[in-house]
C-alpha cells in the first residue's frame, strides 16, 4: 500500500498552513547561492498546491514572506520579490486549471508596486474559482495582525460601533486578515526547526503541529502525505476528554 492509500479522505484538515523553511540551507548544501534555493522552493510550492487540491483540502496557507524577512540583505529581498512576480505570472495557468482561488494576507502595501499589481491581477482572475483557497502570507506577521485588529476594534468601541460587552472571539476573528478563513487544523514546518515564527498565532490555537527535517525544496508528495497521516492518527479533543469525544 502506498502512502496515498493510507489517507482517509473524509478526515482531511480543512485548513492546512505551511511554514516553508530551508531554501537557503538547501542551496548551501549544494554549494549554490541562496537565490537558487528559493527558485527550487517554488517547485515544491507547485507540487504541494496541486496535491492539496487533488486531495480535497479546502484551504492552504503558505508562509511566503514574513515582516521580519524585510531585515534580510537587500539583494535577497529584491530576488524574492522578483521571484514572487515571476511565479505569479507563471502559475496563473496552474491555478485556473485546478480551480484554485488566490488569496493573500499581510501588510501588502509594503510590497513593491509591481508585485502588488501582479498579485491583485491573479487574485482578480481567480476570484470565481472554488475548489480550494490558496492564501499567500506576504509581509505577514501575526503580532502586527493582532495589533492592527486591536486598534480597529478599540476605535469602534470608542465610537460606540461595538459594545465592549459584546467583544468575543468572533469579533476578533472578523478583524483579522484571515476573517474569511477557518481556524488552522494542521501546521507543517520544514527544515527541522521547531518554532512558529510569528505565524497565525491566533488561528492555530488548536492546530496540530508537524515538524519535519526535510528542507523545503526537497518537500514532495510523500512528505505531505506523511504529515496528513500523522494528523489523522491524533485525537483532537479541543479541551474535552477522550470519553467525551467518543
Query: Active-site residue numbers?
Result: 21, 69
Q: How far apart are CA 126 and CA 94, in angstroms?
A: 11
Q: Are 226 and 213 in contact (CB under 8 A)?
A: no
User: 2: which residues sit within 8 A by CB, 6+ positions away?
Assistant: none
| Best CA proximity match to 149, nearest among 107, 177, 115, 116 | 177
Q: In sequence order, what are the residues at sequence separation of 6 or more whose Cβ sits closer than 8 angstroms to the Cβ of residue 34?
A: 23, 24, 27, 28, 76, 79
Cβ partners under 8 Å of residue 207, min gap 6 = 17, 183, 184, 185, 186, 187
Q: In angstroms, how far is CA 119 from the centroid of its own chain? A: 16
Give me the helices (H) in the chain, please: 23-29, 34-55, 74-97, 113-125, 142-158, 169-174, 221-233, 242-245
Cα first-last separation, the chain: 28
Amino acid at each position: 500500500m502506498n502512502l496515498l492509500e493510507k489517507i482517509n479522505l473524509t478526515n482531511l484538515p480543512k485548513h492546512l498552513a505551511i511554514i516553508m523553511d530551508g531554501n537557503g540551507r538547501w542551496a548551501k548544501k549544494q554549494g549554490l547561492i541562496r537565490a537558487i534555493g528559493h527558485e527550487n522552493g517554488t517547485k515544491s510550492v507547485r507540487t504541494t498546491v496541486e496535491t492539496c487540491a487533488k486531495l480535497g483540502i479546502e484551504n492552504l496557507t503558505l508562509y511566503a514572506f514574513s515582516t521580519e524577512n524585510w531585515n534580510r540583505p537587500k539583494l535577497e529581498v529584491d530576488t524574492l520579490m522578483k521571484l514572487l512576480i515571476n511565479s505569479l505570472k507563471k502559475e496563473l495557468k496552474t491555478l485556473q486549471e485546478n480551480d484554485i482561488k488566490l488569496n493573500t494576507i499581510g501588510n501588502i502595501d509594503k510590497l513593491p508596486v509591481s508585485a502588488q499589481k501582479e498579485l491583485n491581477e491573479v487574485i482578480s482572475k481567480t476570484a470565481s474559482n472554488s475548489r480550494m483557497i490558496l492564501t499567500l502570507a506576504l509581509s505577514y506577521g501575526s503580532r502586527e495582525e493582532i495589533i492592527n485588529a486591536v486598534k480597529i476594534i478599540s476605535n469602534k468601541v470608542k465610537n460606540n460601533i461595538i459594545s465592549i460587552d459584546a467583544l468575543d472571539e468572533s469579533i476578533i476573528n472578523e478583524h483579522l486578515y484571515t476573517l474569511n478563513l477557518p481556524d488552522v487544523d494542521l501546521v507543517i514546518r520544514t527544515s527541522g526547526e521547531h518554532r512558529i515564527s510569528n505565524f497565525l498565532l491566533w488561528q492555530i490555537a488548536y492546530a496540530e503541529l508537524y515538524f519535519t527535517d526535510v528542507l523545503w525544496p526537497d518537500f514532495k508528495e510523500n512528505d505531505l502525505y506523511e504529515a496528513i497521516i500523522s494528523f489523522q492518527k491524533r485525537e483532537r479533543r479541543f479541551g474535552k476528554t477522550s470519553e467525551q469525544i467518543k
